[in-house]
């Protein structure tokens, strides 16, 4: 039986969760299975849990050249089941969305739920802001997330490696 621990994430836990979902079957779990598989395929590595309402991604997404990217996750104070993922570019840079489309792929290791949320420029910000965000109801418990680029094959061949976080 699948039984997560709280303080550490490793690939074995995610593989076990994906296997459990595949065993159960059903259309409702397709998104969760796809999210787990995508995070594994991206090369997630062991991480110690970040606790509390706000944390930086343990593995930051990074570009081959240009301004640095900074990813973080903030659990909502009134409702810890909601998380706002943000991606910022250092001062003077363009919006991360100018580089391509980004999404957060997430998986809750306790509820065995997961999905993908596309990142957008928040409506309350100005067009020149250097932030994009996605708000997701992920549930309580241990959640592994990857921040990924949805678009590829830019003319300037700039590559953006995924970032990873493990929250509890």
* pLDDT (tens digit per residue) in 104-146: 999 999 999 999 999 987 665 555 567 889 999 998 888 999 9
pLDDT band at residue 98 under the 50/70/90 scheme: low
Query: pTM value?
Result: 0.83
Going by C-alpha positions, the residue among 93, 88, 83 that lies closest to residue 61 is 88
Between CA 40 and CA 29 the distance in angstroms is 17
For residue 29, what pLDDT is reported? 80
pLDDT for residue 3 = 46
CA–CA dist 88, 110 (Å, integer): 29
Between 63 and 119, whose confidence is greater?
A: 119
Does residue 75 have a pLDDT over 80? yes
Residue 66, by phi and psi: left (phi above 0), alpha (psi -120 to 50) or beta? left
For the record, the structure tokens of 99 come out as: 């580089």
Q: Is residue 34 very low, low, confident or very high in pLDDT (cuts 50, 70, 90)?
A: very high
Given this model, what pLDDT does residue 151 score?
A: 64
Is it the case that residue 157 has pLDDT exceeding 50? no
Residue 30 has pLDDT above 50, yes or no: yes
Q: What mean pLDDT is predicted for residues 156-162?
A: 67
Confidence of residue 32 (pLDDT cuts 50, 70, 90): very high
- Please state the rounded mean pLDDT for residues 49-70: 79
């Amino acid at each position: 039986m699948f039984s997560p621990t709280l303080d550490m994430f490793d690939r074995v836990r995610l593989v076990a969760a994906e296997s459990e979902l595949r065993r159960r079957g059903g259309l409702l779990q397709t998104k969760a299975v796809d999210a787990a598989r995508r995070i594994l395929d991206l090369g997630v590595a062991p991480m110690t849990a970040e606790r509390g309402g706000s944390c930086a991604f343990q593995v930051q997404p990074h570009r081959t050249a240009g301004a640095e990217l900074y990813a973080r996750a903030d659990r909502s104070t009134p409702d810890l089941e909601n998380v706002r993922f943000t991606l910022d570019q250092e001062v003077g840079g363009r919006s991360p969305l100018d580089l391509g489309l980004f999404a957060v792929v997430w998986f809750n290791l306790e509820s065995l739920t997961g999905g993908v949320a596309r990142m957008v420029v928040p409506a309350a910000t100005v067009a020149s802001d250097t932030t994009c965000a996605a708000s997701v109801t992920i549930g309580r418990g241990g959640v592994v997330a990857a921040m990924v680029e949805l678009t590829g094959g830019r003319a300037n061949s700039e590559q953006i490696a995924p970032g990873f976080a493990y929250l509890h």
